[in-house]
């Protein structure tokens, strides 16, 4: 009875291989094999395509289940001694098939081109490059050239999607044929048992898929950002072995799979125990093979447990997860720029200006900064209400109050005017920004007031400095801001009174222009609109 169920493992494997072929075909209709598009296309399948996460999840987790069942299948054959003649050919082909399946999984993991796939690929290619004599050539053939790039992705895609699956299909057919050469009495209940096994395997896959909402996808590959790379779980034992091997690690990584494969392949040759002697003489071989399994399992568990207890690593990984969620959120909202997946970080509205603000302006200008030295820059800055409040109390806390200038005789005096004249003056200043909603009559009256009340110090003509205070021509326009940020100490602006550093060397004209565009946007923005721009 137990044997009858153990025999189902083979068919469960064939079933899962077919599942991989079907889901893989569907995924290949979405995947774009290039360094610029790979991550973006995977993120699209995972987060945006209908049921994409499900198909991708099945494709990923079925591979894990295939490797688990392959291990059980292998163990079952070892225990039953059915690797011996006349099934030795099936044994050898099966071992080859398992090798190919592992290679398919490894090459597939690279294709997502996220941090995990990219760095795992870097390390794997580094190990392959350590092969004596032919190392450099192997490395270049694997990379498709001198470094990771487009041709690396296309090459691993070719291996994962075409070459290795074709080989696996051929070996599967051969394996089944060799295994069935020795006729066994067919039991009428066996097909049903096989189907039940397939259902159980699929249930395991779906459980993994649902619990992880498909499968994870990290932040896009970034050669400048370190990543604590780990291989997939089923080659974890090699990672651990290298860890233990110290300076002999390269040997360990390359030789260990060869040794394990060699021992297993040699079983049918060395194990001559025939039927007459019975099981008694087979125990050393069975012992050796199961011992090998036990060692591999132990190394895997130790390695995973060590990481699980590594707080520094857990913290770093949590940060990576957060970054991944951010990158994928941006990809879903704004799309990934055709220039490459790292540019996805720059897709939030006015990202460049907001980044500059956060790094260069925030300390001195943000309401929340305890190091503030200048006027607060916030939504409404430069608008009518702001202008009026400023004119009434230029040295108030939210305006020039924190500057050195406010405490000197050069500080601007509050403007005292009747309410209607104040509105007119505000309109005249507001009009300088080029805003489209200017009341022309008010503006003209305001200009007349400016002539009387302000020209002792200021000027309103284009490109003209005031006698002792900033020229206000173009105040609040994009050009004005670009120029002001470039050099606030210019004679036309604040002159020597300004404590703000000049940015014409630190920021490019494009950056200053982006900053100016942001300030113009802020003028008519509200706090909730600013919040709606989302995180950087």
Partner 1 sequence: MAPPKPDRRKFLKLATSAVGGGLGLIVVAPALRLLGEAAGSTTVKTPIDPIDVGAVERFPVDTPIKVTIVAAEVTDAWTSARDVVLGAAWVRRTGDKSFEVFSAVCPHLGCGVDFDGKQFACPCHDSKFALAGAAQPGAVAKRGLDSLEHDVTADGRLRITWARFALDTEEKRPA
Residues binding partner 1 (CB under 8 A): 34-36, 119, 122-123, 126-127, 129-130, 137, 140-141, 143-151, 155, 222-229, 242-243, 246-247, 249-250, 313, 316, 339-340, 342
Characterise 447 by phi-psi region: left (phi > 0), alpha (psi -120 to 50), beta (else). Answer: alpha
For 531, the token pair is 């919040």
CB of 481 to partner 1, least distance (A): 24
Alpha helices, DSSP H only, in 393-439?
419-431
Each as own residue / partner, the long-range contacts of residues 326-330 (CB below 8 Å, 24 or more positions apart, any chain) are 326/219, 326/535, 327/43, 327/219, 327/220, 328/43, 328/46, 328/47, 328/217
- Return the number of the residue (58 or 253) whose C-beta is nearest partner 1: 253
Helix/strand/coil percent split, the chain, to 5: 65, 0, 35
Give, as one character, the DSSP assignment of residue 235.
G
502 burial type by CB count under 10 A (0-12 exposed, 13-18 middle, 19+ buried): middle
269 burial type by CB count under 10 A (0-12 exposed, 13-18 middle, 19+ buried): exposed
- Rounded to whole angstroms, how far apart are CA atoms 365 and 345? 25
User: Rounded to the nearest 10 degrees, how much is the dihedral formed by the CA atoms of 84, 89, 90, 93?
Assistant: 130
Give, as one character, the DSSP assignment of residue 501.
P
- Return the number of the residue (14 or 245) whose C-beta is nearest partner 1: 245
- Rounded to whole angstroms, how far apart are CA atoms 279 and 108? 41
Contact in structure between 260 and 292 (CB atoms under 8 Å): yes
Residue length, the chain? Answer: 536
Residue among 420, 479, 469 at smallest CA distance from 445: 420
Q: Is the dihedral of CA 455, 461, 467, 470 positive or negative?
A: positive
- Return the number of the residue (147 or 451) whose C-beta is nearest partner 1: 147
Which residue in the block uniquely carries the two structure tokens 């019975």? 278
CB of 220 to partner 1, least distance (A): 11
CB of 154 to partner 1, least distance (A): 8
Query: Could you write out the three-class secondary structure of 370-398?
Result: CCCCCCCCCCCCCCHHHHHHHHHCCCCCC
Beta strands in 227-297 (DSSP E): none
Characterise 471 by phi-psi region: left (phi > 0), alpha (psi -120 to 50), beta (else). Answer: beta
Which residues 6+ apart lie within 8 Å of 509 measured at CB?
482, 486
380 burial type by CB count under 10 A (0-12 exposed, 13-18 middle, 19+ buried): middle
- Rounded to whole angstroms, how far apart are CA atoms 80 and 4? 13
User: Rounded to the nearest 10 degrees, how much is the dihedral formed by the CA atoms of 23, 24, 28, 30?
Assistant: 40
Residue among 268, 79, 266 at smallest CA distance from 178: 268
CB of 149 to partner 1, least distance (A): 4
């Amino acid at each position: 009875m137990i044997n009858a169920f153990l025999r189902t493992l083979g068919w469960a494997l064939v079933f899962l291989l077919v599942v991989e072929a079907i889901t893989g075909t569907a995924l290949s209709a979405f995947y774009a094999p290039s360094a610029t598009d790979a991550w973006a296309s995977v993120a699209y399948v995972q987060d945006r395509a209908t049921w994409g996460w499900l198909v991708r999840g099945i494709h990923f987790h079925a591979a894990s289940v295939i490797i688990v069942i392959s291990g059980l299948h292998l163990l079952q054959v070892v225990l039953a001694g059915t690797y011996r003649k006349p099934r030795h050919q099936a044994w050898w082909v099966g071992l080859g098939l398992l090798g190919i399946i592992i290679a398919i999984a490894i090459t597939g993991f690279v294709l997502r081109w996220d941090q995990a796939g990219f760095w795992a690929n870097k390390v794997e290619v580094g190990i392959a490059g350590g092969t004596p004599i032919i190392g450099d050539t192997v490395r270049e053939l694997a990379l498709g050239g001198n470094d990771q790039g487009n041709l690396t992705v296309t090459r691993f895609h070719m291996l994962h999607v075409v070459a290795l699956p074709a080989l696996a299909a051929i070996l599967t057919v051969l394996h089944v044929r060799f295994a069935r050469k020795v006729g066994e009495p067919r039991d009428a209940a066996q097909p049903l048992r096989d189907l039940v096994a397939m259902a159980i395997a699929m249930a395991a896959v779906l459980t993994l898929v649902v619990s992880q909402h498909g499968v994870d996808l990290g932040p896009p590959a970034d050669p400048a950002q370190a990543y604590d790379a780990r291989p997939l779980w089923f080659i974890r034992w090699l990672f651990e072995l290298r860890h233990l091997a110290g300076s002999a690690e390269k040997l360990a990584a390359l030789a260990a799979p060869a040794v394990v494969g060699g021992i297993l392949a040699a079983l049918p040759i060395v194990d001559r125990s025939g039927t007459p002697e019975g099981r008694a003489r087979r125990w050393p071989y069975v012992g050796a093979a199961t011992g090998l399994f036990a060692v591999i399992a132990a190394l895997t568990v130790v390695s995973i447990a060590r990481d699980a207890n590594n707080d520094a690593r857990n913290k770093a990984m949590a940060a990576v997860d957060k970054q991944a969620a951010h990158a994928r959120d941006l990809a879903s909202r704004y799309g990934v720029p055709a220039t490459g997946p790292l540019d996805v970080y720059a897709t939030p509205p006015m990202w460049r200006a907001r980044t500059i603000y956060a790094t260069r302006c925030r300390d001195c200008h943000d309401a929340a900064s305890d190091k503030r030295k200048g006027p607060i820059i916030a939504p409404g800055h430069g608008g009518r209400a702001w202008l009026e409040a400023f004119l009434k109390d230029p040295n108030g806390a939210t305006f020039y109050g924190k500057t050195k200038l406010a405490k000197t005789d050069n500080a601007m005096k509050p403007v005292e005017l009747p309410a209607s004249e104040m509105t007119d003056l505000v309109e005249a200043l507001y009009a300088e920004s080029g805003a489209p909603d200017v009341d022309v009559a008010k503006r003209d009256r305001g200009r007349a007031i400016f002539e009387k009340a302000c020209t002792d110090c200021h000027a309103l003509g284009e490109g003209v400095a005031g006698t002792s205070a900033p020229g206000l021509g173009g105040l609040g326009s994009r050009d004005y801001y670009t120029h002001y940020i470039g050099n606030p100490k210019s004679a036309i602006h604040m002159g020597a009174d300004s404590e703000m550093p000049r940015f014409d060397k630190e920021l490019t004209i494009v950056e200053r222009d982006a900053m100016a565009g942001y300030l113009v946007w802020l003028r008519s923005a509200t706090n909730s609109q600013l919040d709606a721009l989302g995180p950087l």
